Amino acid sequence: MEYLAGEYDIVVIGAGHAGSEAALACARMGMKTLVTAMNLDSIAMLACNPSIGGPAKGNLVREIDALGGEMGINVDETMLQIRMLNTKKGPAVRALRAQLDKKLYQGRMKRVMENQENLDIKQTEIVRIIVEDNQVKGVVTNLGAIFRCKCVILATGVYLKGKIVIGEVSYNGGPNGLFPAAKLSDCLKALGIKLMRFKTGTPPRIDRKTVDFGKMAEQPGDYVINTFSFMTGEIKADQLSCYLTYTNNRTHDIIRKNLDRAPLYTGQIVGAGPRYCPSIETKIVMFPDKEEHQIFIEPEGSNTNEMYVQGLSSSLPEDVQINVLHSVKGLENCHMMRTGYAIEYDCIDATQLQLSLEHKIISGLFFAGQINGTSGYEEAAAQGIMAGINAVLKLKGKEPLIFDRSEAYIGVLIDDLVTKGTKEPYRIMTSRAEYRLILRQDNADLRLTQKGYDIGMVSEERYKRFIIKKENVEREIDRMKKKHISMTDKVREYLEKAGSSEIKGGISIYELLRRPEIGYCTLKEIDEDMPELNRETAEEIEIEVKYEGYIRKQLQQADQFKRLENKTIPKGIDFETIRGLSLEARQKLKNINPKNLGQASRISGVSPADVSVLMIYIEQHRRSRGGGDSGKQEIID
């Protein structure tokens, strides 16, 4: 029997990494919000690897933080180890990666949500979304409770009709032994939403006491700790080490001999798996000539002996997984505490969404996270905060917050999903971003914090810090351009020590810092006017100066890109009536319904010739409507 249980502005279905950020964003922006979870112990659960960050993923975390999200702060508060990756490469690909205490991470996020004003949390299963005249009206739980609302955000992760597969054994289930969501998929189908079937997996967990770390290479954390949140500042912490070992020929032979029992190759698994995080059996099949694969042994927490076996994700039978583990150096006598598994689940084709992550037809229905076909905590959280922000802006009658590909990795992620779609679990990578030199992790606050403040997500304290940093960077760069030095004995000694050539006549401190061998912090030896700045600001200054030419060139490229983005396609356009478009282009354009010429150009199947035809059509339409000469004018039908 159904009954009215309450009324909210927004209901968020799912409280994983997408749902947590979405719910917090909605509540912090003043909306009465309800977030539901199948099990409250699954809030912000790190169901797979105990880490956050890495190339491009770390950039997403910094962007979430710059917008006022919680993930970066939560990482800094609960990390076991942190490392800056790719330090020998340029700043565009440097990335933070943190090992986390799973229980502490999950517990702190749950506590933050419990204490957030305007936010209620409820353990329940949502089985139906109430939609009337293509408008969201509420949700219904498995116990008959009706919660009226104006917007719904689906952030269901891998729970929709989840199916666990281990060798010949399979059963309905969610991650880590939790229940699946069995009925919501049918509701989405009934609403006309296209579903897909994806697959992901996780490796075994082993007992620390049974691992011989002496046979492995230790991987300690960084001595100087960088943090994910711009609010954390400089900290010191005791860090736990990870350890590196490798598979070998014996490991590979065991896997090859048991491929007839591997669900990936027997047809038992039908969902598309992740390309960039494949199972160990997939690695062996795809790279038969590779003699070894890296295996990282990572701690799952400071108060547990469980260790995560990164690189050994598998759905092989349990007995085979044990033999595989025992074939690896240092794991000969390890005890497997949890068996690795694959999980199949329903997700949607994200090309059904607008760039705001709202459904194109059903008003008030937003999607975020793995239900959109992504993999990874960071990708989920980034979508979550954007779905939450845009649901609130919709209810406030304001335009959605949409980042283009030159503004944020978040923009790249969402544009890829909505414009191109994905046939396998999507993972963000630096190579996906055309403008990665200006989308660095160090400048995420300079790019996004003002936007977060303008919509009410960023606190006054955070905004004040942002303004101080921005002014310090600008003031110091201006000072360095004006400050000139000449060759003195002190300068000569400094240059010799740095391995730098002598200067002739005078040179500005700014020009001197552009030399590769000169570091900003060392300049205080010859520049008595250098101000005391924190490490984060000093790093920003050094990058801005050393890469000034490259950054300027990429900014020019971004400006050219924006010209296409500003060519708005008239609303209500019938692509079938535009002469000159190819048949494939008409079908793809009709399906995606791009908002501008730039988005249209990125649709698979739309050729440069089709883009030219569209450009001519837009210009003719503009003239027929009496528009001016500006290519930036928005054309609305």
Record: fold of 205-342: Elongation Factor Tu (Ef-tu); domain 3 (2.40.30)
Q: What is the dihedral of CA 260, 261, 266, 268, to 10 degrees?
A: 180
Please give the average per-residue pLDDT across 408-416, as a whole number: 96
In the predicted model, what is the mean pLDDT of the chain?
93
Residue 574 gets the label, from left (phi > 0), alpha (psi -120 to 50) or beta, of: beta
Strand pairing report for 126-132 and 135-141: antiparallel
Asked if 308 and 302 count as a contact pair (C-beta separation under 8 A), the reply is no
pLDDT, one tens digit per residue, over 116-173 is: 999 999 999 999 999 999 999 999 999 999 999 999 999 999 999 999 999 999 999 9
Least confident of 308-312, 329-333, 376-380, 555-559: 555-559
Q: What is each CA distance from 539 to 148, 367, 472, in whole angstroms?
A: 49, 37, 12
Residue 627's pLDDT is 53
DSSP percent split of the chain into helix, strand, coil, nearest 5: 40, 20, 40
**Confidence class of residue 271 from pLDDT cuts 50, 70 and 90?**
confident
Average confidence (pLDDT) over 586-597: 90
Q: What is the pLDDT at residue 636?
A: 28
* pLDDT value of residue 637: 29
* Average confidence (pLDDT) over 294-304: 97
The rounded distance, in Å, linking the Cα atoms of 46 and 17 is: 9
pLDDT-wise least confident of 88-102, 124-138, 452-466, 616-630? 616-630
pLDDT for 410 equals 98
Please, is 350 exposed, middle or buried when counting C-beta atoms within 10 Å of its C-beta (0-12, 13-18, 19+)?
Answer: buried
Q: Report the alpha-carbon distance of residue 161 to residue 174 in Å, rounded.
A: 8
What is the rounded distance in angstroms from the CA atom of residue 13 to the CA atom of residue 155? 6
Mean pLDDT of all residues in 219-239 = 91
Least confident of 242-246, 469-473, 588-592: 588-592
CATH of 476-549, one of 3.40.190.10, 1.10.3720.10, 1.10.10.1800, 3.50.30.60: 1.10.10.1800
Sign of torsion, CA 369 375 379 381?
positive
CA angle 69, 71, 77 (to 5 degrees): 120
Q: Which helix (H) or strand (E) holds 24?
A: helix 17-28
**Using 50, 70 and 90 to split pLDDT, how confident is the model at 14?**
very high
Q: Grade residue 629 by pLDDT with cuts at 50, 70 and 90.
A: very low
Phi, psi (deg, nearest 5) at residue 200 = -140, -175
pLDDT at 264: 87
At 626, is the pLDDT very low, low, confident or very high (cuts 50, 70, 90)? low
**130-163 burial, b if ≥16 CB within 10 A, otherwise e?**
bbeeeebebbbbeeebbbbbbbbbbbbbbbbbbb
Task: Indicate the pLDDT class of residue 44, thresholds 50, 70 and 90.
Answer: very high
Closest CA to 358 of 135, 562, 159: 135
Neighbours of 234 (CB within 10 A): 11
pLDDT for the residue 537: 94
Give the architecture (CATH level 2) of 3-200+345-454: 3-Layer(bba) Sandwich (3.50)
The Cα–Cα gap between 314 and 175 comes to 14
Confidence of residue 631 (pLDDT cuts 50, 70, 90): very low
- The residue type found at 371 is I
What average pLDDT does the segment 474-488 reach? 94
- C-alpha–C-alpha distance, residues 36 and 13, integer Å: 5
Task: Indicate the domain borders of the chain.
Answer: 3-200+345-454, 205-342, 476-549, 566-624
566-624 classified as CATH 1.10.150.570:
yes
pLDDT of residue 252 exceeding 50? yes
